[in-house]
Amino acid sequence: MKLEDFNNIDINNAGSLPAPMKAVLLGVVFLVLLALGYYLLLSPAMESFDTEKAKEEELRKVYFEKKSQAINLAAYQAQMVEIEKTFGALLKQLPDRSQIDGLLTDINQAGLSRGLEFELFKPGQETQAEFYAEMPIAIKVTGTYHDLGAFATDISKLSRIVTLGDVYVAGKNKDAKPDAKAGPNDGGLVMEAVAKTYRYLDANELAEKRKAESEKAKAAQKGK
């Protein structure tokens, strides 16, 4: 059997071909059918199998994550309760708008009770954050070193949150002699600082803030 013999094959008389040629032709037909079967049937099935296997791995990962969360659910719930308690306690330290005047009076009274003289006590402009507003208060007081320290301690002990920042302390009268009598305008120290107090925003303020932020976001989107 030679290669040239396959060039003159008559398909209609394939039954009369020599056995070796029949075997070769059957082998070729088998390989063609095998290739077509793989391409049409097996290949899509393999791709589908790989896809489903990837989904299985993803679902397995999600399952173990959920299982871990379920195991630690009680601990998470206890932690959330503790966080809510802490947040609630901190929130109670923030006055609402109606209590600000009373808080300012408390700050002023804390200084007067220590014998300090206020040269300046000026509330500034509020600035709003996510759920609270911050009010700076510029203060300038005169008194002794110990009285100023006691005043700062009293401020930290107020039931409402008040902080002191930008503190500057200097001698009230640098030219006063050490043995001179400390009159109203002699000796002592001057302390300048910015006291900051905070209050939580009420429901109307929060609604207005969210509305303004939404309108701003829409305007920025239109600008693009």
pLDDT at 14 over 60: no
The confidence score (pLDDT) of residue 80 equals 78
Q: What is the mean pLDDT of residues 124-135?
A: 81
Q: What is the mean pLDDT of residues 203-218?
A: 76
Better pLDDT: 15 or 19: 19
Tens of pLDDT, residues 147-191: 999 999 998 888 778 888 899 998 876 554 433 334 444 458 999
Most confident of the following: 74-83, 130-139, 172-181, 206-215 = 130-139
What tokens appear for 116 in the block? 């300090």
Tens of pLDDT, residues 84-119: 666 566 655 566 666 678 888 888 899 999 999 999
Q: Give the confidence band of 21 by pLDDT, cuts at 50, 70, 90.
A: low
pLDDT at 193 over 90: yes
What tokens appear for 127 in the block? 């600035």
Task: Give percent above pLDDT 90 in the chain.
Answer: 13
The confidence score (pLDDT) of residue 182 equals 42
CA 63 centroid distance within chain: 26
The confidence score (pLDDT) of residue 177 equals 42
The confidence score (pLDDT) of residue 148 equals 92
The confidence score (pLDDT) of residue 151 equals 92
pLDDT at 217 over 80: no
The confidence score (pLDDT) of residue 185 equals 42
Better pLDDT: 212 or 190: 190
Tens of pLDDT, residues 34-92: 777 666 666 676 777 778 888 888 888 888 888 777 777 777 777 777 776 665 666 55
Q: What is the pTM of this model?
A: 0.48
